[in-house]
Amino acid sequence: MITKEELIAKINAVAPLLVTFIGCINAFLTIKGLPCIQVGDEAITLCISSIATVVGEVWGWWRNNNFTKKAQVAQPVLNLLKEDKITTQQVEAFVDENTAE
């Protein structure tokens, strides 16, 4: 599972690649006599960082909330596992018993 901070770091690492890519596009446009793309490094970095922040926040919010019925049913089982009131072997045995064909 990737954390919000890791996601932001990865997207920020991509920013220089995008700057290089835009530079290549601008070089091609210049060769062809067309107008260049007017975007600065700071604008690209800010845009990518903002997108990373929003994606990270939404992902973290979604992951930590039980929206689906299955997640809502599974949460008490997970809580029991975390509290050592049941074991993983008990859960696995229950699943095996109820999924036998």
Q: Return the sign of the alpha-carbon dihedral for residues 61, 63, 68, 69.
A: negative
How do the domains of the chain map onto residue ranges? 1-65, 67-101
pLDDT for residue 90: 94
Separation between Cα atoms, residue 35 and residue 98, nearest integer Å: 66
Confidence of residue 77 (pLDDT cuts 50, 70, 90): very high
pLDDT for residue 85: 95
Query: 16-69 pLDDT, tens per residue?
Result: 777 788 888 888 988 999 888 777 777 777 777 787 778 777 777 776 677 788
Rounded to the nearest 10°, the torsion over CA 17, 23, 24, 26 is: 150
Confidence of residue 92 (pLDDT cuts 50, 70, 90): very high
pLDDT(86) > 90? yes
Q: Residue 52: exposed, middle, or buried by beta-carbon count in 10 A (0-12, 13-18, 19+)?
A: buried
pLDDT(81) > 90? yes
pLDDT for residue 1: 63
pLDDT(80) > 90? yes
